[in-house]
Each structure stands twice: as structure tokens, then as C-alpha cells.
């Protein structure tokens, strides 16, 4: 569980792990208002746990994206729950709530030759008049990550449906 607060111009992040985790731990992060300086204190993990990847984190917080989202917001970027696919050197972003079919559609598209750039969490950032996908270490339970920076061509918002299919539309007048 997370709690976040601003006290005396310092951002305080508190985290306590909840099952299922490989190794329970708690952490507190204290950052200045701009998040340029900070310290993270961890209880319940040691160097060996960290080196053996006992958790999916870079900064020893369960969700690094909580801190990264604050930094990205100041730079015109966001972290989005979704997958990104590479198609003709452009990124196609698939987003939607859990269970909407992002993984299913990504796997279908991968079988048809598209590359999965990232799985579950992706970074988008405005660059001039376009939006770029930026690869990062963030991922869901499938450890698919990319270091690529690719212009975003399409963002698809998915809703759950009873059957799985997709249709490539070449002529935009086609329905």
C-alpha cells in the first residue's frame, strides 16, 4: 500500500508490500519539491535480496512509476497502463483497463510480425508536435522492455469484448 504526502516542501512516499510478493518489505522515500534530490530507506530487504531480484523495482520501491510519473509530468510525459507495438517504424499504443484485451491483442499482432515494445507500462512524452514512446525498465509480469524511442502513430483504447479479433483497415473509408 502507498501513501504520498507533501510536508514542509518535501514529498514523502511510504510503501508497505502486500501479498503476493516474494519478500515482504516497507520503504519510505523523502524528496525535495522538484524531486531532484531524495533518499530512500528500506526495511526488510538486504543487498542479497536486491541482487537476486526479489522484487520488480529499480529504486527499491514496488512501483518506480509512482516517482517517475511525478518527474515526467514536469517534462510533458506520462506513464500509461498499456502495451506498445512496433509497426512500420511507428508505435501503436494499446491501452485500457485490466482485462480489456491488451495482452491478447498484442500476442495476436506479434504472431503477425509486429514487435512488442513494452508490456503493461509505457512512457509517452510530447516532443514538439508529436508524441514519442520511450522504452524503459517498467513492465508487468511479462518482462518485455525496449530501449527504443519511437514516434507514436496510433493510440487504441480497448474495451472488453466476447471474442478476439482485429481487422487491418487500409482504406480509411472502409468500415
Say which DSSP state 45 is in: -
Instruction: Tell me the mean pLDDT in the region 51-75.
Output: 67
Instruction: Tell me the mean pLDDT in the region 54-67.
Output: 60
List phi, psi (to 5°) of 69: -60, -35
| pLDDT recorded at residue 65 | 66
**From CA 25, how far away is CA 11, in angstroms rounded?**
20
**From CA 59, how far away is CA 107, in angstroms rounded?**
30
pLDDT(55) > 60: no
C-alpha cell at position 165: 479479433
Q: Please list the residues that pair with 92 across neighbouring strands.
A: 85, 154
| pLDDT recorded at residue 161 | 80
| Distance linking the first and last C-alpha atoms of the chain | 45
Residue 109: band (very low, low, confident or very high) from pLDDT cuts 50, 70, 90: very high
Q: Please list the residues that pair with 112 across neighbouring strands.
A: none
| pLDDT recorded at residue 59 | 59
Preceding amide of 20 cis, omega within 30: yes
CB neighbours of residue 132 within 10 Å? 17
| pLDDT recorded at residue 24 | 75
CB neighbours of residue 31 within 10 Å? 19
Amino acid at each position: 500500500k502507498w501513501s504520498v504526502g507533501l510536508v514542509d516542501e518535501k514529498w514523502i512516499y511510504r510503501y508497505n508490500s502486500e501479498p503476493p510478493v516474494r519478500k515482504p518489505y516497507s520503504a519510505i522515500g523523502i524528496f525535495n519539491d522538484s524531486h531532484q534530490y531524495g533518499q530512500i530507506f528500506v526495511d526488510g530487504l538486504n543487498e542479497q535480496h536486491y541482487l537476486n531480484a526479489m522484487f520488480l523495482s529499480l529504486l527499491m520501491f514496488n512501483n518506480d512509476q509512482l516517482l517517475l510519473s511525478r518527474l515526467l509530468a514536469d517534462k510533458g510525459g506520462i506513464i500509461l497502463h498499456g502495451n506498445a507495438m512496433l509497426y512500420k517504424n511507428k508505435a501503436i499504443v494499446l491501452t485500457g483497463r485490466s482485462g480489456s484485451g491488451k495482452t491478447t491483442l498484442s500476442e495476436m499482432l506479434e504472431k503477425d510480425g509486429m514487435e512488442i515494445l513494452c508490456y503493461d507500462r509505457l512512457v509517452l512524452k510530447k516532443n514538439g508536435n508529436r508524441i514519442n514512446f520511450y522504452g524503459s525498465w517498467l513492465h508487468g509480469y511479462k518482462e518485455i522492455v525496449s530501449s527504443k524511442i519511437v514516434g507514436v502513430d496510433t493510440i487504441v483504447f480497448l474495451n472488453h469484448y466476447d471474442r478476439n479479433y482485429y481487422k487491418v483497415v487500409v482504406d480509411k473509408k472502409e468500415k
